[in-house]
């Protein structure tokens, strides 16, 4: 996952953009949008070292931490994406 790897800000933006495009999870896509906005602001800063690899996991940023926790929770659920989407829309598994 892009959040735990050491990459340049530009590489993080690219990786998160790819995840956002393929995901049907509105929570993840919304969180990625906010993280991407923050990354873009940091990339615009002329004083930041743009080529230094960073791990977003190590940032003191609540949105990034929330995204990591949410992703870890969803991975821990170990359900296929179709089931997660169906449950979010009111479907319940048969007993």
The total number of structural domains in the chain stands at 1
Is 92 inside a domain boundary? Answer: no
Is 95 inside a domain boundary? Answer: no
Is 31 inside a domain boundary? Answer: yes
Is 91 inside a domain boundary? Answer: no
Kindly report, residue by residue over 10-22, the tens digit of the pLDDT.
Answer: 899 999 999 899 8
Kindly report, residue by residue over 42-92, the tens digit of the pLDDT.
Answer: 888 766 666 788 888 888 889 889 998 888 887 777 788 788 788 888 898
Check if the beta carbon of residue 95 is closer than 8 Å to that of residue 52: no
Is 94 inside a domain boundary? Answer: no
- Calpha distance 8→61 (Å, rounded): 17
- Calpha distance 62→31 (Å, rounded): 11
Helix and strand element counts for the chain (H, E): 4, 2
Is 22 inside a domain boundary? Answer: yes
Is 85 inside a domain boundary? Answer: no
Check if the beta carbon of residue 67 is closer than 8 Å to that of residue 4: no
Residue numbers of the domain that contains 46: 6-80
**pLDDT(25) > 90:** no
- Calpha distance 51→63 (Å, rounded): 23
Q: Which of 39, 52, 47, 73 is nearest to 8 (CA)?
A: 52
Helix (H, G, I), strand (E, B) or coil at 21: helix
């Amino acid at each position: 996952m892009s959040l735990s790897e050491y990459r340049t800000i530009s590489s993080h933006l690219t990786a998160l953009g790819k995840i956002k495009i393929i995901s049907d999870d509105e929570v993840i896509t919304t969180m990625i949008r906010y993280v991407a906005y923050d990354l873009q602001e940091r990339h615009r800063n002329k004083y930041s070292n743009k080529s230094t690899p960073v791990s977003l996991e190590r940032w003191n940023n609540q949105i990034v931490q929330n995204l990591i926790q949410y992703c870890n929770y969803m991975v821990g659920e170990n359900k296929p994406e179709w089931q997660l989407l169906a449950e979010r829309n009111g479907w319940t598994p048969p007993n």
